[in-house]
Every structure is written in C-alpha cells, then in structure tokens.
Amino acid sequence: MRPPRPAAQPRSLTEGPVMKTLILFSVPTLGSNLLQSLNGSVNSIWVGRLLGEAALAATANANIVMFLVFAAVFGFGMAATVKMGQAFGAGQMDQARRTFGTAMGLCVILAALVAGIGWVMAPALLRLLATPGEAFPLALTYLRVIFIAIPGAMASVMLAMGLRGAGDAKTPFLFMGLSVVLDIAFNPLLIAGIGPFPRLGIAGSALATALAGYLSLLAQIVYVYARDLPLRLRGAELSYLIPRRVELGYILGKGLPMGAQMLLVSSAGIVVIGLVNREGLLAAAAYGASLQLWTYLQMPAMAISAAASAMAAQAIGAGLSDRIDQITRAGIIVNVLLTGAMTALLLTFDRSALVLFLGPDSPAVPLARHIQLLASWSFIIFGVTIVLFGTMRAGGVVIAPLIVLAIGLFPARLGFYYALRGSLGQDALWLSFPFGSLVAVLLAIAAYRRKGWREKARAILPERAAKESQADGETAGRFKPEL
C-alpha cells in the first residue's frame, strides 16, 4: 500500500536575502495580477471591437461598481492574511487554519448578500455614476450578470490570499492562468454566438467571466486537497468555516479599516468617472481605455506590497521585527525600477495599445494619449505609498493609511481639480492624479517613520502568549488588535 503523501508545509519568508526573497515571492503574484489585467484588457478589446464604444464605456462604468463591491469585503481577506502570516511565522498551523476558515466563511456570506442586493440596486448605482444614456442599458445588463460571479470570485480571492500568507504564490498564479484562458476563450463565443453558443452580446462577456471564475475555483479546491496544502480543512476543521468570535474580533477590527481604504480608492474612482462622464461620451471612452492601461501600471506595486506584507507578517510572528525596514527598502527599490520601466514603455507605445480598445480611427485615441502623458507617471509615486502601507499593515497599522488615502484622494485630488478647472480646463482632472499621489506619499513616509507602530509589532508575540495562557482550552493562539 502506498504511504500517504506528507502534508505540505508553509514556505518560510523569514530566511535568506530580503531582496531575493521579495522578488521571488513577488513574481508569481505579479504574474497573477498581470494575467488578471490582461484578461480584462482582452475582454475589453472583444467588447469594443464587436459591440462598439458605447459598450466599452458601459463596461468601464460597471467595473468601477464591481471594484466598489469587492472593496466592501476585501479588507477582511487582507486582515486574515496578516494574522495567518503571523501564525505561520510562529509555527501555529491550527491558528492559521482557524483564521482562514472564519475569513472564508465570512467573505462568502457577505459576497452572497452583496450579489443579491447589487442585482436589485444596479440601476441606481449606474444612475449615481451619471452613466451616459447610450451606455446605460448595456452597463446594466453587464453589471447584473457580473453580480452572479461575485461569490465565486470572492472565494477565489480569499483562497489565493490565504495561500500567499502561507508563502505559496505559485498556486494562485497557476489557477489565475486557468481562469484567464477560459474567460478569453468564452468571451467571443458568447458575445457573437460562435458555433453552438448563443449570441448574448455584452451579457455574454459577463457570463464568460462568471463561468471561468467558478470553473477555476472548483479546480483550485480540488488541487489544494489533492496536494494537502497547508490551508486545507478536513474533518472537524470544516467547522472553522463558521465564523467564530475570537477570529472575527481581529478580522473585523482590522479588516474594516483596510476595506475602508479600498472603498476610498473605489469611491474616488466613482467620483472621477462621474466627472469624466460629464465631459461627454468621447472623454468617457478615452478614459475607459486609459484605465485599461493603468491597471498594468498598478500591478507591480500591488504585488510588491502584498509580498512585503506577507514577509513582514511572518517576520513579526517569528520575532524578527527588525527585518521590517529591510523589507520596506527592498520593496520601494523594486517598485520604482519596475513601475518606472513599465511607465516608460507604456508612454512609448501608447498609441499602439490604445487602438486595441478604441480602433485606429476613433477620435478618442488622441485624447486618451493626452491623458496618458499627463497622469501615467503618478503611479510610480503612488506605488511607494502602497509598499509602505504593506509593511505597516503587517504590524497592524490600519488607521494611518486610511487617513493618508482619504487626504490624497479627496481634499488633495479634488481640491486641485476644482481650484484649477477654470484655468486648465479638462487637464485639471488628469493632473489631479499626480498631485494627489505626491501628497499621499509624503504623508505615508511621515506615518511610516513614526516608531510607535514598530513597538506594537514587537509586542505581538508576548501579547499572544498572554492570551494563550488565559484561553478556554483551545490550542489556537490569540491576540487583541490595537486599532
């Protein structure tokens, strides 16, 4: 009889050179993000080419709403990832599984509720965005079908974040690749009704995304159990999927401010979309195409921030909090080099990229190129802010990043726009991006340099030990969040 496969162990991120570990861990995460962005871009190409500019503007409006929905529960996943990383760093496998189970159960329940409410509220949301009349019915159809995909998409995100907290960035990358291949393949088939598939128009694009998401989630779950990866739940551990008060205390306490950060970003995006829509369909289409390219510029910083957060969380759990500054420096250097290179590449070949979405003869192409020139480089600056937030998040700091984002995205960005709209015209809107990013990074640096949060990070292990000594017989470690 063949002996059972030994259970896979979480990968330690606390050993070896910091820069090398950060890069190796960031690459699969960056690959996952790039694949996801590529997926959205290819789908937008299909929509724009097969259905026209109004349909492309519709998907841009609908996608902003979807980002808002994801933000509402995404913070809980980030909070759980931090606590799981600390537990893995301390060698507490059961605690990590308890946290993962509670986070997964909570996110799926919330996602199901949001999907139902979103279906009903979709028209009101699009009216709030001042969606152009030509695009409104298309956006409504697209958005309502996409809402069906939310529970599966959130479960996939939570599973991927949990695996990364365990030091495994490869598995999420593999199954993101599967999802992208399926989505890209289904899109033209369902939009145009090729072969045995029905012709569904813009609803087909949304349905393709939903089908790809659920199929790849099922395949990933099978893979996790077949490989016996660290976060699999078996037997009595399946009860961890019922949210428990102890884990909920941390996930809600930290996750709400983290989710609020995402909500700030998405609400700022909604405000900008509303301002752009008031400039007319041409500006809406140009901005929608620009957003597709900007997703690529954001990806390096998001991947590096996630890697830095996972590394710092494991370092804190292992009692190596002095390693945090090394992780932060490495993250900033890699972000500036990589995001800077991607920005230069984008600005060099922007026309070739933009015509993929708008067509070579679209009057929106020159305006989209102008937007790129004025605003794209701001993502280099904003990436530094995101990396700083990543390491601070690992130490439980959630309020300072929230305040920084609130100031950078609203008083700074909108204040710049309204103050200079009369003299700069439409350009005030595009230049408000770099101005807001500059304000945010200066405030983030000031917050990071404060020493108080490092002392709290060093106290996490003693505090957890004290909680364990008072526990009610459970083996899982606990610690009270400091908000």
The confidence score (pLDDT) of residue 457 equals 66
Number of domains in the chain: 1
End-to-end CA distance of the chain: 53
Mean pLDDT confidence for 287-293? 83
Q: Which pLDDT band, with edges at 50, 70 and 90, does 441 fall under? A: very high
Question: What is the rounded distance in angstroms from the CA atom of residue 317 to the CA atom of residue 482?
Answer: 16
In a domain, 341, yes or no: yes
Q: Which stretch of 29-38, 129-138, 268-277 has the lowest confidence by average pLDDT?
A: 129-138
Mean pLDDT confidence for 68-78? 71
In a domain, 410, yes or no: yes
Mean pLDDT confidence for 206-215? 88
Please report how many Cα atoms fall inside a 13 Å half-sphere around the Cα of residue 211, on the Cβ side: 15
Q: Does 478 have pLDDT greater than 50?
A: no
Evaluate if pTM is beyond 0.75. no
The confidence score (pLDDT) of residue 7 equals 53
Q: Which pLDDT band, with edges at 50, 70 and 90, does 479 fall under? A: very low
Tokens of 444: 């983030």
Q: Which pLDDT band, with edges at 50, 70 and 90, does 387 fall under? A: very high
CB 364 within 8 A of CB 286: yes
In a domain, 472, yes or no: no
In a domain, 61, yes or no: yes
Question: What is the rounded distance in angstroms from the CA atom of residue 48 to the CA atom of residue 59?
Answer: 10
The confidence score (pLDDT) of residue 462 equals 45
The confidence score (pLDDT) of residue 258 equals 81
Q: Does 454 have pLDDT greater than 80?
A: no
Q: Which stretch of 37-46, 271-280, 291-300, 383-392 has the lowest confidence by average pLDDT?
A: 37-46
- pLDDT, tens digit, for every residue of 82-125? 888 788 777 788 888 888 888 888 888 888 888 888 788 778 87
120, with CB counted inside 10 A (0-12, 13-18, 19+), is exposed
Cβ atoms within 10 Å, residue 224 = 21
The confidence score (pLDDT) of residue 472 equals 33
Most confident range (mean pLDDT) of 125-134, 219-228, 460-469 is: 219-228
Distances (CA, A) of 210 to 72, 220, 318: 19, 15, 40
Tokens of 43: 């789908």
Residue with the two structure tokens 């509402």: 72
The confidence score (pLDDT) of residue 64 equals 66
More confident residue, 348 or 361: 348
Q: Which stretch of 290-294, 329-333, 394-398, 472-476 has the lowest confidence by average pLDDT?
A: 472-476
Mean pLDDT confidence for 259-283? 80
Cβ atoms within 10 Å, residue 326 = 18
Q: Does 4 have pLDDT greater than 50?
A: no
In a domain, 4, yes or no: no
The confidence score (pLDDT) of residue 483 equals 27
The confidence score (pLDDT) of residue 469 equals 32
DSSP code per residue over 370-413: HHHHHHTTHHHHHHHHHHHHHHHHHTT--HHHHHHHHHIIIIIH
Please report how many Cα atoms fall inside a 13 Å half-sphere around the Cα of residue 246, on the Cβ side: 20
Q: Does 306 have pLDDT greater than 60?
A: yes
- The residue type found at 451 is K
Contacts from 170-174 at CB under 8 Å and sequence distance 24+? 170/28, 171/220, 171/223, 171/224, 171/229, 172/28, 172/29, 172/32, 173/28, 173/29, 173/31, 173/32, 173/35
The confidence score (pLDDT) of residue 316 equals 82
The confidence score (pLDDT) of residue 323 equals 83
- DSSP letter, residue 242: S
Q: Does 257 have pLDDT greater than 80?
A: yes
In a domain, 59, yes or no: yes
In a domain, 385, yes or no: yes
Q: Which stretch of 28-37, 107-116, 244-253, 474-483 has the lowest confidence by average pLDDT?
A: 474-483
In a domain, 476, yes or no: no
The confidence score (pLDDT) of residue 139 equals 75
- pLDDT, tens digit, for every residue of 177-188? 898 889 888 888
Q: Does 320 have pLDDT greater than 50?
A: yes
Range of the domain at 140: 18-461
CB 73 within 8 A of CB 209: no
The confidence score (pLDDT) of residue 187 equals 83
Q: Does 422 have pLDDT greater than 70?
A: yes
Q: Does 321 have pLDDT greater than 70?
A: yes
If you average pLDDT over every residue of the chain, what do you get? Answer: 80
Mean pLDDT confidence for 398-425? 89
Contacts from 13-20 at CB under 8 Å and sequence distance 24+? 13/85, 13/89, 13/167, 13/310, 13/311, 13/314, 13/315, 14/89, 14/311, 14/314, 14/315, 14/318, 14/320, 14/323, 18/311, 18/323, 18/326, 18/327, 18/330, 19/330, 19/333, 19/334
Q: Does 67 have pLDDT greater than 70?
A: no
